Amino acid sequence: MRRPLPAMVLVLILLAGCNPPMPAATPVSIAVQYSAATAPWLTGIYDCANVNVVTAEQRAVEFQDPKSVDLTIRIGQPDNLDIPAYQIGSEEILVIVNPKNPVKSLTAEQVRRIFNGQTLSWQGVGGSNTQVQAWVYSSGEDIQQIFESLALDGSPVTSNARLATSPDEMALAIGNDVNAVGILTQSLKGDNVSDAFLVATVPVLALTKSAPQGAVQTLIACLQNKVP
């Protein structure tokens, strides 16, 4: 004959069965602004957000206001940084050419002279006797600011340069014109262009308006372990 459970054991079992399930995490809204050059990090941001809701807006760095949102993503460190910044990766800034261009590599001096307008023909850098067509971005874009600072030593870009409104437009323009030359990040480079010069490897930064906590802190920690 089966013996009944002791009273104390029975009470414990009943109490354990009455424990309510752990409440689900309450989603929070995270406002993000990012530069065109950091678009590849968006996938990681959405993945790392988990159940939280991300509102993302692309802005050139001249129009970014890191103190108005939870997270700002950009390449390169801004001047007079007075808010927390965390490196979540790195990015290579490249000078790109059309794959059919016979010029496969450029020196720092050749890049400077091309984008300054001192070299007008590809023949001047070992190519064919055809006119060079340089492409650049708006001066408000982080990639353009870094390029001008490091590759041009702060000197002005040639007035003959054409303006690309996005990295996609830049890649398309260079891929469609054998005489074109432009600027792109490694993460955005496709098979339709070739890299001819490495300008620099720069940090990808996540800026916060104050010391990150909660969902924003978790998001940044997750991004630091991801590759775009």
pLDDT tens digits for 15-52?
344 555 656 668 899 999 999 999 999 999 999 999 99
**In a shared domain, residues 153 and 218:** no
**In a shared domain, residues 112 and 213:** no
What does the pLDDT average to over 167-178? 98
Within a domain: 16: no
Q: Rounded to an integer, what distance in angstroms lies between the CA atom of residue 222 and that of residue 52?
A: 13
**In a shared domain, residues 108 and 140:** yes
Measuring CA to CA, how many Å separate 107 from each of 126, 155, 196, 198?
11, 17, 9, 9
Q: Could you list the residue range(s) of the whole structural domain that residue 57 is in?
A: 30-90+204-223
Measuring CA to CA, how many Å separate 113 from each of 116, 148, 151, 156, 160?
5, 12, 10, 11, 13
**In a shared domain, residues 36 and 128:** no
pTM above 0.75, yes or no: yes
Q: 149: Cβ–Cβ under 8 A, 6 or more apart, which residues?
A: none
Handedness of CA 214, 220, 224, 225 (dihedral sign): positive
Query: How many domains does the chain contain in total?
Result: 2
Most confident of 7-16, 17-26, 57-66: 57-66
**In a shared domain, residues 196 and 122:** yes
Residues 139-169 have pLDDT tens digits of 999 999 999 999 998 889 999 999 999 999 9
Structure tokens at 220: 């940044």
Give the model's pLDDT for residue 23: 60
**In a shared domain, residues 49 and 125:** no
Within a domain: 118: yes
Most confident of 7-21, 198-212, 213-227: 198-212
- Burial level of 120, CB count in 10 A (0-12/13-18/19+)? middle
